[in-house]
Amino acid sequence: MNENEAIGIFDSGIGGVTVLKEILKILPNEKYIYYSDSKNNPYGDKSDEQINALCDNIVQQFIKQRCKIIVIACNTASAKSVKYLREKYKNIPFIAIEPAYKMVYDYAYKNPTLVMATKGTIESEKFNLLYHTYDNHKTILLPCVGLADLIEKGNQDEIKTYLKEHLEQYKGKIKNVVLGCTHYPLIKNEIKEILGEVEFFNGAPYLAKHLKDVLEEKHLKNMENKKNTIQFIDSSNDEQKKKRFFEIIKE
């Protein structure tokens, strides 16, 4: 492996762009390959075996493309498959996102908290361990079935209707919102429209910092001062997705 090889990053769709944006802020000189598995979106309702197989396929492609490290920019895939992937691919480091629930424990323990994530994440063993370790006893776990899918499709009216239906009951009762799916930072404003002023907790900035530390520690960080490159691959070859992805990167 050498420092010129790429960082592979994947999600079930374009949601992981919210993770890549944080990474770009502190690792601006790398070569990135982003894989959006929109053909198999959503991951949230799939079995562990199905998600393992999908992740396995993506990881094999990244290895063929000589990636030096892999970022799982999908909470569901991290929760269900990172252990399996780390055991199977021992020579490549994996950096995995997780809901920023520990941050609530560290910085806003006393406040009533809503964790929004996919059903898969909320039911996973990995998340349950995190939750029970840092439980502030004022937390509601909300599996947002179908929400990542709506964000992926990008229809504002449908997103607003969904949020109204599922979040209105918490208005005025919640202070912390954990964005436990990488698609959700894309709808922060829409969430605020329903819940009012809340504090968001997103694991992406911490993942970015951790990625940088690991690259440095393993001497894999690109030391050349050249601008990053981003290759976007979508499993259903959706040109619209590609367009939206690069629009969000530029925002």
Which of the residues are catalytic?
74, 181
Phi-psi region of 66 (alpha: psi -120 to 50; beta: other; left: phi over 0): left
Greatest pairwise CA separation for the chain in angstroms: 52
User: CB 111 → ligand DGL: shortest distance, Å?
Assistant: 23
Q: Which residue is nearest to ligand DGL (CB)?
A: 44
User: CB 34 → ligand DGL: shortest distance, Å?
Assistant: 13
Cα-flanking dihedrals φ and ψ of residue 173, to 5°? Answer: -105, -10
Instruction: Outline where DSSP puts E strands in 20-119.
Output: 31-36, 67-72, 94-96, 113-117
The contact set with ligand DGL (CB under 6 A) reads 11-12, 15, 41-44, 74-76, 118, 121, 148, 181-183
User: CB 248 → ligand DGL: shortest distance, Å?
Assistant: 13
User: CB 13 → ligand DGL: shortest distance, Å?
Assistant: 6
Our CB check for ligand DGL shows the closer of 73 and 220 to be: 73
Our CB check for ligand DGL shows the closer of 93 and 203 to be: 203
Who's near 18: CB < 8 A, 6+ residues apart? 73, 182, 183, 185, 186, 202, 204, 248
Burial call 1-29: b when 16+ CB within 10 Å, e when fewer:
eebebbbbbbbbbbbbbbbbbbbbeebee
